[in-house]
């Protein structure tokens, strides 16, 4: 483990986002991979105690996705970090971004039952803001094209 990773995980916001990601992947794995062997995740963040004494139980595949996501979050170049779905950096490699999208689509609505209602509301509000900005940008395009 790099010292940088441990330092970044010392940031409360980084830890919070990382824990949320782990919760989401935990919900996904429990529902979709019940037939696989699932053990408490032994990722770098887990070894730093980010998940307390109860890291999420994950199959090997989901643990690898979590490990990848932990690093992306820790080294996110944006401050404050926007929700990944609205970010223009695209720091996830394509296959991971695609996996993450379908995982979030599954776990997002279900996470409301796991105490993430506030995050869900924040996410919806931010999505609306981004859609509005998109519309403004594209109507500006139209205006320019009309001239």
Closer to Zn ion by CB, 33 or 81: give it.
Answer: 33
Q: Which two tokens stand for residue 40?
A: 């408490």
Nearer to Zn ion, 29 or 41 (CB): 29
Cα separation of 61 and 58, whole Å?
Answer: 8
- Smallest distance from Zn ion to CB 90, Å: 24
Q: Which residues pair with 58 in a beta bridge?
A: 39
**What minimum distance in Å lies between the beta carbon of 95 and Zn ion?**
16
In the complex, minimum distance from the CB of residue 132 to Zn ion, in angstroms, rounded to a whole number: 36
Judged by CB, which is closer to Zn ion: 26, or 73? 26
Give whichever of 14 and 55 is closer to Zn ion, judged by the CB atom: 55
Binding site for Zn ion (CB under 5 A): 29, 33, 59, 62
Least Å from the CB of residue 98 to Zn ion: 16
Nearest approach, Cβ of 34 to Zn ion (angstroms)?
Answer: 9
Between 8 and 111, CB nearer to Zn ion: 111
């Amino acid at each position: 483990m790099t010292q940088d990773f441990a330092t970044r995980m010392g940031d409360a916001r980084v830890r919070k986002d990382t824990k949320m990601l782990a919760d989401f992947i935990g919900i996904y794995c429990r529902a979709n991979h019940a037939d696989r062997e699932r053990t408490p995740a032994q990722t770098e963040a887990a070894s730093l105690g980010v998940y307390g004494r109860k890291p999420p139980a994950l199959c090997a595949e989901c643990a690898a996705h979590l490990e990848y996501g932990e690093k992306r979050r820790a080294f996110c170049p944006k401050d404050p970090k926007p929700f990944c779905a609205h970010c223009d950096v695209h720091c996830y490699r394509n296959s991971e971004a695609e996996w993450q999208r379908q995982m979030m689509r599954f776990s997002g609505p279900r996470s409301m039952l796991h105490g993430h209602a506030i995050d869900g509301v924040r996410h919806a509000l931010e999505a609306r803001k981004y859609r509005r900005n998109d519309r403004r940008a594209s109507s500006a395009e139209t205006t320019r094209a009309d001239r």
